[in-house]
């Protein structure tokens, strides 16, 4: 791992109307990480203009924490701008995002792979020219019945889910810190249950 900072990005949609949506769980985790690191996220200029970001230390690593201020499907531009500004390769990018293919509260870590229909990831892969970045996948589960996934992700967490949401966000933040501290494989060994 290089000694430069890691760029840790939490995905979501901007504005209070989206704040509690399932799709915004990445941004919620990022807010928790910023609070832990004592980092204030603020709008930047130039290549950093389309995100709220701040620099600090997390798990004894230098980090740039950021939330794109664009809509989810345009996350790639702000992420590319931050990578360029901080002279970082996409391999030092960690994206925290909601994941339909994992049950609610399940957290998984991986590098690369497909985007699973996630518009934020698709945009980042397109803008960086690679899928080879680290991901913290925060499970939100599949929509019930025939509900359209696109509608489901833009709904707030249910009352039942909200009871444990804070705990879930904490666990996803812990997993992110572990990833930064120990690297992917060692962190996966802790976070992923033994089968």
- Give catalytic residues, as residue numbers: 23
C-beta of residue 130 within 8 angstroms of C-beta of residue 121: no
CB atoms within 10 A of CB 61: 17
Query: How far is residue 43 CA from its own chain's centroid?
Result: 18
Neighbours of 26 (CB within 10 A): 27
């Amino acid at each position: 791992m290089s000694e430069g900072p890691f760029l840790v990005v939490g995905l979501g949609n901007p504005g209070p109307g989206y704040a509690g949506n399932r799709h915004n769980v990445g941004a919620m985790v990022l807010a928790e990480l910023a609070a832990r690191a004592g980092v204030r996220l603020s709008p930047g200029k130039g290549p950093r203009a389309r995100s709220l970001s701040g620099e600090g230390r997390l798990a004894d690593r230098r980090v740039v924490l950021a939330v794109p201020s664009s809509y989810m499907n345009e996350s790639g531009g702000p992420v590319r701008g931050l990578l360029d500004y901080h002279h970082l390769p996409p391999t030092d990018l960690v994206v925290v995002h909601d994941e339909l293919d994992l049950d609610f509260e399940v957290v998984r870590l991986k590098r690369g792979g497909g985007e699973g229909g996630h518009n934020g990831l698709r945009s980042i892969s397109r803008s960086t020219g690679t899928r080879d970045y680290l991901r913290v996948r925060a499970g939100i589960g599949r929509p019930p019945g025939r509900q359209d996934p696109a509608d489901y992700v833009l709904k707030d967490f249910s009352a039942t889910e909200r009871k444990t949401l804070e705990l879930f966000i904490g666990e996803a933040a812990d997993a992110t810190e572990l990833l930064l501290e120990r690297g992917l494989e060692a962190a996966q060994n802790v976070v992923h249950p033994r089968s």
